[in-house]
Amino acid sequence: MSDEFLKIATAEINNEISEIQNILNSCKSNLDVSINAAKIQKSTHKIKGLAPMMGKEDLGILAALLDSLLKKIMNGVVANEILESLIIAADEMKKSMTCSDYNLDKIKQKISHLSSALS
């Protein structure tokens, strides 16, 4: 994997995380998240595909969990605590981009449990 690819991929993922954070900053409730779920999901989908290609497997797994959760919300499933959980997840994603050995296990578990509760 070339340095140029890593540079471009890193910038792209950071842009997608910023986009998620911008959308979430405009949300005041779980209903607002439901309204914006498709926009957020587009970003998680991109991260899900790109992160593993640059060696960020845990970030890819978290993005896949978020992607699945957001698809459930887009299909009309109501989720409590989703706004708070997504804000935390986006913050953790951002931290994982600046720290190579950042542990995402806690937030992956939280999102997984939240998603399972919606099934």
Fold of 3-117: Four Helix Bundle (Hemerythrin (Met), subunit A) (1.20.120)
Contact 47, 63 (CB under 8 A): yes
pLDDT above 70 as % of the chain: 98
pLDDT per residue over 59-100, tens digit each?
A: 999 999 999 999 999 998 877 889 999 999 999 999 999 998
Name the phi and psi angles at 55, rounded to 5: 85, 15
What letter represents residue 108's amino acid? Answer: K
Q: Where are the domains of the chain?
A: 3-117
How far from 26 is each of 16, 29, 46, 49, CA to CA, in Å?
A: 16, 9, 21, 26
